Structure formats: structure tokens, C-alpha cells
Structure 1
Amino acid sequence: MISREYLDHLEEALAIAESANYEVVDIIKRSRPGRRLSDEAARRISERAHRANAEVIIYYGNLEPSSLYKLEKESKLKVLDRVLIILEIFALHAGSKESKLQIEMARLKHELPLIREYIRRAKAGEQVDFLGPGRYAFEAYEKHVITRIARIRRELDELRRRVKTQEQARKDSGVVLASIVGYASAGKTSIFNAITGERQPTGPEYFTTLFAKHKMVNFNNTKIMLIDTVGFVRDVPAEIIESFYSTLQEASLADVLIFVVDSSEDVSAIREKVAAGVSLLSKLNAINKPIILAMNKIDLVARDDLNKKESLVRELLSHMGIKADLVEVSAVKKLNLEALLEKVSESARGAGGPSETLRQGVRAEARPQADAR
């Protein structure tokens, strides 16, 4: 089921469900606003789910714990809201200890209000063992969750201190830190691979990158540490921003941001995604630094169309008070990657126009990678 505030983003909702390895068998569009479900709405959704032989109900939106409880009780099925489905994708791609801890903490924090709703209902005399072992087990689990969250937070704080120390050491050594940021599936990892020769996973699935990946390249006697980061998504839930702070922190610690935009998308999608990215960067206090807008996939766009989209982006950023250089690139064709790195070097040293050595190209500390968008 997709909630009213995300009705215009059905394609995104389907892509996220598929990225979590779910096959969508039915779609219910909710026309009413709000985070509450009536008893009748929960009954109708449950009936549709059972007619479709669904094993899980995904509510692509935000529901109050009481409504989640109501839907689970009525359907006797597992119910995932937007936060939980995103966290399931994160769990599929998690590799480092840090990312696994972040995912666990985000999930526990998000589930805690629902656990408390189960306990509240049990104390009021309702039967709550349709998906679990009952009130007392839920109370014991609540204590376990609170203790576990505190322990994870301490471990993550220590990991964050290490990351900050490492990044500061890189800065002190004269290395330029350039974080590649942007909306999910814009082509951040493809650009990272094309420049560095790495073969990090890419594809249409959401969140193939969960923890930052680093690679040093030398460009015209400038050492640049390229950092591939987790992709943005509209209206990132607060739980995910906090829990993934140490991954997203790479953007706030960087000297320069490379903001990747998929220029092959339509104008409305580009407008929304650029705005969402700027909003998230602002929340991370990462907006007040040089920004280079990398318009990726230019090989898929006609010249006139590309000009219109670039004008739109420039106008949008201007209205938001953001100054950014713009570079047209293609990861698959390896177009203008030297110009992109020149802008990074230029922005880091606060200099003017491109250098005479631009034509010498890039010398990366790895072999060039095969074409990948």
C-alpha cells in the first residue's frame, strides 16, 4: 500500500520493494492523508492482502504505532512501513561492522514504539500474542532493546571518533577529500569506478553502496581521496539519518562535494531529487563548502534537453542560495572525468580557471574499469 504523500512516487516505491527482494502482487493507493488507519481501512487492506496471497504487507509511508498494530492484528501478517523496508535493503548490502551496527540500532529504535504499543494494549486486556509470545515477553524484549541501543550507541561513537581522526589526518597530509554524493541510482559508484578503476557493485537497485568507499587518485600533482557515499532518498527518516551519521559524515568532513545528478531523468524528477539532496546536506551541516554538480549520463540526453535541465538546476540552486560549478560527465563513456577532477582540484585550492595540464588526464592508482553506468 502506498500512502497519499508518496502517490507521485509509485515508481520509487516499487523499486525499493524490489530492491528488498519482494515481488509486488497488488498495489493499494491510499487517498486519505494522515498516519492513522481506521478499523475499516485495516480490514479492507487485510482482505486485499489475503486475496492476493500476500505474505507481507508493505505500507509505503508512515503509520502511528497503533495503526501498525491494528493492521498486523487484523491481517495476521508481517507489516513493514517505509523505514523498515529501507532498513531491509540496508541489511542486504551491509558489509562492515559499522554499517551492521547502524542498521540494527535504526531498526530497534523504530520498533520500540510498536513494542510499547503491544505492551499498552496487553495491559488494557487485549490479546497480543498473534505475532508474538505475549505481554511479559514483550516487556522483557523492551528492556533488552533499550540496553542494546545504548551499547550500540557507545560502539558507534567510538567508531565515529576513529573516522574523524583518520579524515583529519588525511587533511593534514595535504590530501583533498572529495565526497561523491547524490540521489540513489544517480551513478555515484559508476563515476567512482570509472575514475579509480575500482569494480564496486553498481546497478539499478537502491542502496548498493551503504558504507563509504575510499580511493586515492593523483591528478596534476594533487592527491585526491575520492569517497563514494550512501545514496540520498526523499524524506530520509530521522532514525536513518542519525544511525547512518558516520557514513553520511563523509560529506560533512569533505573539502569538496561532487553532487551527481542523473541527467537522463525527466525535469520534475531532477528538480525533486536536487532539492532532496540539498535538504539532506543542510541537515548534515555539509552545504557550506565547494559543490560541483556532475550531470551524469549525458550520453543519453539530447543537447537541447540537457541545456534546459542544466538551466533548471542552476535556477533551483540559485533560489536555494547554493553556489555550484557544473560539469557534464558520462561514467559509461568516460566523458569529461578529467574536467571533473580539475574542478575538484581547482575548488580545493580556491583557484581560477582550468590548468594547462588538463589534457594530461587522470593517473589513478588502479587500472581503468570496464564500462559501467
Structure 2
Amino acid sequence: MLEKKEIGYEKTVLIGVITRDQNEEKSKEYLDELEFLTYTAGGEVVKRFTQKMDMPNPKTFIGTGKMEEVEQFVHDNDIGTVVFDDELTPAQQKNNERILRCKIIDRTNLILDIFAQRAQTSYARTQVELAQYQYLLPRLAGMWTHLERQKGGIGMRGPGETEIETDRRIVRDKISLLRKKLKTIDKQMAVQRSNRGQLVRVALVGYTNVGKSTLMNVISKSDVFAENKLFATLDTTVRKVVIKNLPFLLSDTVGFIRKLPTQLVESFKSTLDEVREADLLLHVVDISHPNFEDHIASVNEILDEIKGADKPTMMIFNKIDAYKHETIDEDDLITEKTKIHYTLDDWKKTWMGKVGENAIFISAINKENLEEFREQVYSAVREIHVTRFPYNKFLYQEYDQYE
């Protein structure tokens, strides 16, 4: 399928729309995220285009006038790639390629490309490849390349079968083979999970780039790859962690994102078995992000989709070192105080206060409040362990005595 490419800086243009369901503020937020995705994939965003419309144009996604403006800019500035913020239909993609005469990709394709770059293990590569073929199947018509033409010839085609039909058959066969391969790996991983003994399982979940891997490194003293890019971690990492002589298993899972491609949700559901089978979830949130509440909602939506929303959960508000808020002068009687003016103490008095001890504010990178974090995690893991193995209760009394 699509091989990992060398990361280069391609000149890129972004296109989004403002609709009844997506106002100007939300559109800007999505384009900010799309720009970060583009940077992660190896692109340099030169310009953004947005258009207000009731709904996307079924032929080209944006209107005729705006398309002419984009076409002129692409031609004048030697733009190699145009990225649309929403998933394009096969017809829209074909029409836009014909008009703009450059590479046209959408958010789904961009995320798949990042996943293809980041996949390290055979398991992750197989999952990404399956998602890529599922995305490719309805878009084969009009593509300028054909798949594995060497497989054509005598005895390989049905009577009257066209090239596009041959390509579709090859893709469907690939999808079938990849699904079988994933099932085999899933069984192997299920055996591995069953062999981990009776340890309590804790899973880190959250939006992409909230600091899960950094937190994993700090508390497990491991060396999990972490950087300030989206989807730095694709492969689930599991480490044994000991707090106050109490061991448990901690797993770091792939980050979530809004508008996550359905193909990826489907192919990565098996990876998220670590979440489904966890006894406790640590929902990590980047509180320095201005829209972190939307991120929480997106994560909860995906957790519900994979049947993990009802698990005991602790909210870990990370990056308190980077949190900023606007201040209001005490003599200012006009400006209305909104969430952009909230201090961390103000946030603690909102809905966060209702989750009580299940909300912890930390900085993983600066190791702030990590002792409180360890205490809370220890208490939660201990409670689960005592409930499951009451005959070990005297051991915890000894642990507590020596701490």
C-alpha cells in the first residue's frame, strides 16, 4: 500500500467552510488543528481560505468564486498541496484535482498519512494499511495509477472486466487479507493480556498531544517516544508501575481527535482493547488548550463508541505550567468575566469541583503535583485491588504502615 515517505516541507493551502453547524470561531479552531496536522505530516501552510455557506458545494466543496480565488493563488505561488478540512466525496476530489491541477487531500487522508509515517510495529502498520485501503476503495475511479498491473493478463481477469473493476477487486482482496491478519494478531495479543496475571490495569486516554506519553515516562521511568506533534504515539505501550510497593500495569494508547476518520476508528478498535479491558482510566487533558472542554467531550464520545465510557475515571489536567488566562482590572465594571479570564482556582470551582478527588492538576514535564497524583492513583488502584482480592488486604495495611 502507501509506504512511509520522507518528511519534507510542502507548500500547502488549507480550505474550510463556515456553516450553520460550524460557526466562524469553530471553523478557525478546526483550521488551527488542521495546520498542526499539516505541520506534523511535513507541510508548510502558506494560506488559509474560508467561505460562508449554508452547506458545502456537492461538486467542489466550496463555491465557484472562491474556487477561482484558490486556483489563482495556487498557480501564482507554486502550491503543491491543497488540504480540505472535511472529508471530500470521490466526485469532489476528482473535480478539484481537475480544476486546481495539484494534489488534493482532505482531513481524513492527512490523518491517514500521519499514521502511515508514525506506525512502527507490524500491528500498527497493518491497521493503518487497512484504513488506507478502506478510504481508497470508493475513490479508485479517475485515479491516474492502477494497482499491481503485473497481476493482470491471461487468466487474471473476468470476461469483460475493466481496469477499474480489476483494481476494486484487488483492493477488496487486500482488505480481506488485512482483516484476517489483524484477527490473528488480535488473538495473540489477547493471549498476552491474559498472561499478565492479576495486576490491576490502568490506561492513559485523552486527546492527541495532551502529554500522555510524557506522563507515562515520568511515572514509569520508561522511555516512551514523546514530542510536540499530533499522534506521536500509535502503538500501545504497557509498563509495570509500582507505587508504595503496589504494582499495576499502565498502558499508553493512541490519542483521539475530532473528526477522527471512521476507517481509523474501525481498524484501531483492537488497539483500544487496552482501554476496554482497563480497570481504571486516567483521562489526561491539556488544560492550557483554549478548547480543552471540547476535547474532553470528543474523547468521551469515542470512549462511548468503544464501550469504555462507564469505567472508573480520574481526570488529569496536565500542562498547568503552560496555562494562561486574561486578567480583568478590579476597577473594570464593564468587561464580563468569561472562561478566558478563569484562573486555575476558578476552574476548580466549576464542574471540576464536582468530581472531587478524581480531578488532579499537574505538569508532567515540570513534575509539578506528581506526589499528589501518585497518592490519588495509589488509592484508586488499591481500592480496586482490595475489592478484587480481599484476602490480600493485610498486605496493604503493612504497606501503609511503612510509608
TM-score by length of 1: 0.82
2:148 aligned with 1:148: no
Structure 1 residues 206-236: Cα deviation after superposition (integer angstroms, max 9, x where no partner): 0000111111111123211111111111132
Give the structure with the higher percent helix.
1
Task: Give the CA deviation at 1:183.
Answer: 0.8
Structure 1 residues 249-299: Cα deviation after superposition (integer angstroms, max 9, x where no partner): 221111110111112223xx0111111111111111011111011111223
Structure 1 residues 87-114: Cα deviation after superposition (integer angstroms, max 9, x where no partner): 1111111100011111111111111111
Which secondary structure state, in structure 1, belongs to the residue aligned with residue 47 of structure 2? coil
For residues 163 and 318 of structure 2, what CA distance do their matches in structure 1 show?
Answer: 52
Uncovered stretches (5+) of structure 2, i.e. residues with no partner: 1-14, 148-160, 326-341, 388-395
Higher Rg of the two aligned structures: 2
Q: Indicate the residue corresponding to 1:337 in structure 2.
A: 370
Q: Indicate the residue corresponding to 1:205 in structure 2.
A: 229
2:243 aligned with 1:230: no
Q: Indicate the residue corresponding to 2:345 in structure 1.
A: 307
2:58 aligned with 1:36: yes
For residues 296 and 207 of structure 1, what CA distance do their matches in structure 2 show?
Answer: 17
Q: Identify the match of residue 166 of structure 1 among 192, 208, 211.
A: 192
Structure 1 residues 130-169: Cα deviation after superposition (integer angstroms, max 9, x where no partner): x336994333221111100010011111212222232233
Which secondary structure state, in structure 1, belongs to the residue aligned with residue 44 of structure 2? coil
Q: Indicate the residue corresponding to 1:8 in structure 2.
A: 28
2:97 aligned with 1:72: yes
* Contact in 2 for aligned 1:290/1:324 (Cα 8 Å): no
For residues 71 and 18 of structure 1, what CA distance do their matches in structure 2 show?
Answer: 22
For residues 335 and 229 of structure 1, what CA distance do their matches in structure 2 show?
Answer: 23
Task: Give the CA deviation at 1:79.
Answer: 1.2
Which secondary structure state, in structure 1, belongs to the residue aligned with residue 247 of structure 2? strand
Structure 1 pair 302–34 and aligned structure 2 pair: CA distance change class (3 A):
closer
Which secondary structure state, in structure 1, belongs to the residue aligned with residue 281 of structure 2? strand
2:297 aligned with 1:297: no
Q: Indicate the residue corresponding to 2:307 in structure 1.
A: 285
Which secondary structure state, in structure 2, belongs to the residue aligned with residue 24 of structure 1? strand
* Contact in 1 for aligned 2:280/2:311 (Cα 8 Å): yes
* Contact in 2 for aligned 1:37/1:67 (Cα 8 Å): yes
Q: Indicate the residue corresponding to 2:212 in structure 1.
A: 188
Q: Identify the match of residue 255 of structure 1 among 273, 279, 289.
A: 279
Structure 1 pair 216–293 and aligned structure 2 pair: CA distance change class (3 A):
same
Structure 1 stretch 28-37 or stretch 289-298: which is displaced more? Answer: 28-37
Task: Give the CA deviation at 1:246.
Answer: 2.0
* Contact in 1 for aligned 2:146/2:167 (Cα 8 Å): no
* Contact in 2 for aligned 1:178/1:344 (Cα 8 Å): no
2:202 aligned with 1:178: yes
2:47 aligned with 1:26: yes
Structure 1 pair 192–102 and aligned structure 2 pair: CA distance change class (3 A):
same
Structure 1 pair 230–185 and aligned structure 2 pair: CA distance change class (3 A):
same
* Contact in 2 for aligned 1:35/1:63 (Cα 8 Å): no
2:152 aligned with 1:114: no
For residues 36 and 62 of structure 1, what CA distance do their matches in structure 2 show?
Answer: 12
Structure 1 pair 278–312 and aligned structure 2 pair: CA distance change class (3 A):
farther
Which secondary structure state, in structure 2, belongs to the residue aligned with residue 23 of structure 1? strand
Q: Indicate the residue corresponding to 1:273 in structure 2.
A: 295
Structure 1 stretch 300-309 or stretch 2-11: which is displaced more? Answer: 300-309
TM-score by length of 2: 0.76
* Contact in 1 for aligned 2:238/2:250 (Cα 8 Å): yes
Structure 1 residues 172-218: Cα deviation after superposition (integer angstroms, max 9, x where no partner): x2211111111111110110011122222222210000111111111
Structure 1 stretch 6-15 or stretch 17-26: which is displaced more? Answer: 6-15
- Aligned-residue CA RMSD in angstroms? 2.9
Amino acid in structure 1 at the alignment position of 2:209: S
Q: Identify the match of residue 163 of structure 2 among 137, 143, 153.
A: 137
Amino acid in structure 2 at the alignment position of 1:2: G
For residues 359 and 295 of structure 1, what CA distance do their matches in structure 2 show?
Answer: 30
